[in-house]
Amino acid sequence: MHMKLAAAAAMTLTALPLAASAEGDVNIYSYRQAYLLEPLLNAFEQETGIDANVVFAKKGLAERLEREGRNSPADVVMTVDISRINELVERDLVQGVENDVLNENIPENLRHPEGKWFALTTRGRLIFTSRERVEEGEITTYEQLADDKWNDRICTRSGKHPYNIALFSSMLAHHGEADTKAWLEGLKDNLARKPQGGDRDQIKAIAEGVCDISIGNSYYYGNMLQDENQRAIAEQVRLVFPNAEGRGTHVNISGIALTKSAPNRDNAIKLMEFLSSAEAQRIYAEANTEYPANPDVQPSGLVAEWGEINPDQLSLQEIANNRNAVVKLVDRVDYDGE
């Protein structure tokens, strides 16, 4: 009886019907912040007349997609980190796209062999060092992070954050389990404080003198340089492209995938094509100081200034496959502990 009342009350609340446009809609589940997408989606709407609707969440969208099944309104999922994209494939929530435009715009190593996901941007996982307290060239590889020399001088975010997991997964692929465990233990011993905060916080910690070295994604540094409140902090660190002389720097991606249920499949593919186009790639990479996935597009001026990135050619799939083993390894060495 009361549930009826509740239901009635709830019904009056349902969101206003979306204004239907002539060209229809495309619905996006996004793990990326809405404001990063806004300029892109506005450009897309202008160009095609298709309305783009977004639900942004940090967590649980895959579950939501799975439960909604064939009735899910979502057409595409936009997400960061290869493991999260891979999870969608493994749970059979996305469909392959065979499309000439996309295959033209996105290199083979940055898309799923059957088109179940496409990378839109890449970002390097870099080492940042204090300009004051660390000499240039004193550290050049991920492996050196475990050297005793850096005891109590390194800061990182949680070892379980997807960005670190992906980096550790690449270490596992190159070095095997025993060596990777030893390396992780060495790195943990070198931490100046319990892992906390985000990648920017580690750069701040270097500026504060808490530590001398940190690990972080390239775009965080770029964003700090562009933010007048944080520029002075970012300028105190030097960025290092680890293993540039060897196998290359570990990179991760942000990407897009077409859901299995996509009710607006054609519009969704239009959106994917658009996002891979030179114009959108420029906006997208610029907005977050990332590297465009489309090789025809040059990184923005600021990113280009940092020098060439030599990406590790290890397959993203292998990184994703190592994830579970690595997370357990991180637990075993108690990386996030005191």
33 near other proteins (CB under 8 A) = yes
Residues 310-329 that bind other proteins (CB under 8 A): 323-324, 327-328
Residues 226-255 that bind other proteins (CB under 8 A): 233
- Selection from 174, 250, 187, 256 nearest residue 216 by Cα: 250
17 near other proteins (CB under 8 A) = no
At residue 233's C-alpha, the angle toward residues 298 and 285, to 5°, is 20
- CB of 245: closest distance to other proteins in angstroms? 32
282 near other proteins (CB under 8 A) = no
11 near other proteins (CB under 8 A) = yes
289 near other proteins (CB under 8 A) = no
- CB of 295: closest distance to other proteins in angstroms? 29
- CB of 61: closest distance to other proteins in angstroms? 7
20 near other proteins (CB under 8 A) = no
4 near other proteins (CB under 8 A) = no
24 near other proteins (CB under 8 A) = no
Structure-block tokens of residue 194: 């319990």
Binding positions for other proteins, rule: CB under 8 A: 1-3, 5-7, 9-11, 13-15, 18, 27, 33-35, 53-61, 63-64, 67-73, 83, 87, 158, 160-162, 165, 194-198, 200-201, 204-205, 207-210, 233, 323-324, 327-328, 331-332, 334, 336-337
